[in-house]
Amino acid sequence: MAVSELARASVAPAASAAYPLIRCRAIVKIYPLSGVEVHALRGIDLDIGKQEMIAIMGPSGSGKSTLMNIIGCMDKQTSGDYFLDGVDVSTQFESELADTRNRKLGFVFQRYNLLARATALYNVELPLFYAGMSGAKTGEVALAALDRVGLKDFAEHWPNQMSGGQQQRVAIARAIVKQPLVVMADEPTGALDTASSKDVMQIFQKMHREQGVTVVVITHEPFVADFCQRKVVMRDGKIISDDRTPDWHDM
């Protein structure tokens, strides 16, 4: 068996102090476009430890969203190895990837992606329905998630009755309601003003501090990245810097 085959057949130890929760090795992603190969990622090596809060930064076209899609099990790399919680997810079939997303990952997007004709509570309950939780329990669990983002009193509000910042907090509650290992936030403040952006990032910090959730924030805004312990900067499909935030503390 070739070395690369051995690597893909292996299962890493479960995430621990000695082994990262997320491990990317030599990740390459190539998209065919009109007969031309577009190299979106060019050999990414990245470790993210359990309970880290990290920002992945870069301009448009840097590859940060492509990397997020791979870490979030929404796409597969062309080559290289990606381990999540000790499992080589690059070998998983689509049904297995869906199960991994469902059990281990939560997602927050720039545009909230809430159901317009549903209450905040119902929007947060949705992942629980898909996970097979009984209807009697979903309301209680979803309401607790809304309480953690300060919106318990808005449970029966519809999205059009809430501000953009409040809608994003509902989206965060939806992302954490099943207690994922990792929350992936793709430009979570991109549609918000400065005050609402600060509120949202402080909620991520509180989640990270009190619940031990690993938070990965994709952003191009230095102000947002300053809320994170660590900043990874990408350009042209490569990581060009990876630094700890000096004197980082909850802001």
CATH number of the domain where residue 147 is located = 3.40.50.300
Give the pLDDT confidence score for residue 35 in this predicted structure.
83
Return the beta strands (E) in 74-143 as ranges: 79-84, 87-88, 105-109
Give the pLDDT confidence score for residue 1 in this predicted structure.
38
d(CA 204, CA 86): 24
- Averaged confidence pLDDT in the chain: 90
Residue 238 in 3-state DSSP? strand
Q: Kindly state whether residue 236 falls inside one of the protein's structural domains.
A: yes
102 compared with 2, residue with greater pLDDT: 102
Beta bridge partners of 81: 25
Beta bridge partners of 32: 37
- Determine the structural domain holding residue 60 and report its residue range: 51-74+90-244
Assign 203 a pLDDT band (cuts: 50, 70, 90).
Answer: very high
Q: Kindly state whether residue 26 falls inside one of the protein's structural domains.
A: no
d(CA 165, CA 162): 8
Q: Kindly state whether residue 106 falls inside one of the protein's structural domains.
A: yes
Query: Could you tell me if 77 and 84 are in contact, meaning their C-beta atoms sit under 8 angstroms apart?
Result: no
Q: Kindly state whether residue 82 falls inside one of the protein's structural domains.
A: no
Count of domains observed in the chain: 1
Q: Kindly state whether residue 15 falls inside one of the protein's structural domains.
A: no
d(CA 61, CA 234): 9
Strands 214-219 and 53-57: what pairing?
parallel
Assign 88 a pLDDT band (cuts: 50, 70, 90).
Answer: very high
Give the pLDDT confidence score for residue 6 in this predicted structure.
35
Assign 157 a pLDDT band (cuts: 50, 70, 90).
Answer: very high
What are 165's two structure tokens?
A: 């910042």
Residues 5-60: tens digit of each pLDDT? 333 334 444 555 457 999 999 999 999 988 899 999 999 999 999 999 999 999 99
Place of tokens 């102090």: 17
Give the pLDDT confidence score for residue 12 in this predicted structure.
47
Query: Could you tell me if 115 and 123 are in contact, meaning their C-beta atoms sit under 8 angstroms apart?
Result: yes
Return the beta strands (E) in the chain as ranges: 22-33, 36-48, 53-57, 79-84, 87-88, 105-109, 182-186, 214-219, 230-235, 238-244
What are 230's two structure tokens?
A: 């660590």
Q: Which residues contact 153 (CB under 8 A, 6 or more apart)?
A: none
- Say what percent of the chain tops pLDDT 70: 91
Q: Kindly state whether residue 36 falls inside one of the protein's structural domains.
A: no
Q: Kindly state whether residue 44 falls inside one of the protein's structural domains.
A: no
d(CA 162, CA 23): 38
By the 10 Å C-beta count (0-12 exposed, 13-18 middle, 19+ buried), 247 is classed as exposed
Q: Kindly state whether residue 84 falls inside one of the protein's structural domains.
A: no
Give the pLDDT confidence score for residue 55 in this predicted structure.
97
**pLDDT at 192 > cutoff 50:** yes
Please compute the mean of the pLDDT values over residues 219-228 and round it to a whole number.
94
d(CA 35, CA 9): 32
- Say what percent of the chain tops pLDDT 90: 79
Assign 249 a pLDDT band (cuts: 50, 70, 90).
Answer: low
Please compute the mean of the pLDDT values over residues 77-90 and round it to a whole number.
94
What are 7's two structure tokens?
A: 């690597």
